[in-house]
Chain A
Amino acid sequence: MPDDPDIWLHIIYGFLHDISIAVYLGGAVAMEFVLGPAQAAIPPAQAQVMGQKTADRFLWLVWGSLSLILVTGFLRLEHMGMAMWHWPFFQTPGGLSESYGRTLLGMILLWCVLAINGALITWYFRPRLQGKLGTQTSAAHVTAAQTAKMAAATWVQRLTRIDLVVAVVIALMGASLKWGGLI
């Protein structure tokens, strides 16, 4: 066992970073290829309840892991002497003059895409899926509400798939860092 607390810190940051990436990526794959098809095997009304419950819970995991990825990623870089808490934040080889730094920047930008998509799903599209209709609602309103819900559901599905592809690309870029970067 290492007796240097500094090494332990390095291991803990690495572990938390890896586990958050695993939760995000593995969770997205499980939601798309395991829970989605399993949902189709039960009656639509129950499938809707299940979909809502699983998505509610999964969004907590998404935001938790996205936050941990950013924090532990920066802490790891700082620990390795590539980042600092003041401008310009990154230093060699984390600077833009080297492939390592450019790959890091690419990963940070793609992380922002994941965060924006997550925010759109959580605070824009999902509330539109949950609206209930009153008893006095006219047929035209019901049709309009159903069309809006269908459109929101389609967008949630599209954004989820985009997120999955982006996360896979980030993983590729992350793996390349060990050998100096990708771009």
Chain B
Amino acid sequence: MDTLLGWLHAMAWAVYVGGALTMEWVLRYAQREMPGPQVGVVCKNAGMRYRWLALACLAVIGVTGAWMLLRLDEAGLLARPGAPMLSLSDSYGRTVLLLTAAWGLLLATVAFMAFVLHPAQRKRSKPEMTKDEVAAERQRVGRAISRMDKALKFELLLAVVSVGIGASLHAGGLI
């Protein structure tokens, strides 16, 4: 059971963080050579799929992480190198809390991107719109794309930092 939980937890982190890095490194690079309208189609399609995948991964990370935490017992912890404790007076406990906070922030960021920023990028143009209204709509979409870009960079950085925080747990914690 512990192996299965650990595997699911690690898989979900890997798919989430590796997917985010691939989207940034691979898709962004490929987009440079593509015509504008097709960049829009690919971004919309890949972005939507990736958001749902990321949300599913973060849900699995949360459930398996909480389950593993509940299965931790004092004897098991004492057997680990450095005999860590699940308490705020110990570095291990504080690092677990920090990782939980980072997970919460990641979940909030991905949800914000999926339900607010992604829909905001859709152009709402109607034939009866005036030139000024069309220009204003373009500006609004431009701002939404720029906000999405910033959110993506923040998410990527936080995800990579979270892997580092998680890796430190094997050595007894970070803070």
Contact = CB atoms under 8 A, between A and B. Distances in A.
Interface of A: 1-2, 7, 10-11, 14-15, 17-19, 21-31, 33-35, 37-39, 41-43, 46, 49-50, 53-54, 57-58, 61, 168, 171-172, 174-176, 178-179, 182
B29 A57 contact: yes
Interface stretch (B41-49, B104-112, B118-126, B129-137): B41-49
A3 B46 CA distance: 43
B33 A34 contact: no
A89 B172 CA distance: 27
Nearest to B2: A179
Given A26-B17, A26-B22, A54-B27, A34 B11 contact: no
Contacts of A53: 29-30, 33
The 4 closest A-B pairs by CB, nearest first: A26-B18, A14-B167, A38-B46, A175-B7
Given A14-B167, A53-B33, A37 B22 contact: no
A175 B170 CA distance: 13
Interface string B12-53: 011111111111011101100111001001100110011001
5 contacts: A11-B171, A18-B166, A19-B17, A34-B19, A175-B6
Contacts of A1: 174-175
Contact of A50 (B11, B21, B42, B170): B42
B58 to A, nearest CB: 13
B22 A30 contact: yes
Contact of A172 (B7, B26, B27, B46): B7
Contacts of A29: 15, 18-19, 53
Given A11-B168, A25-B18, A26-B17, A171 B26 contact: no
B10 interface: yes
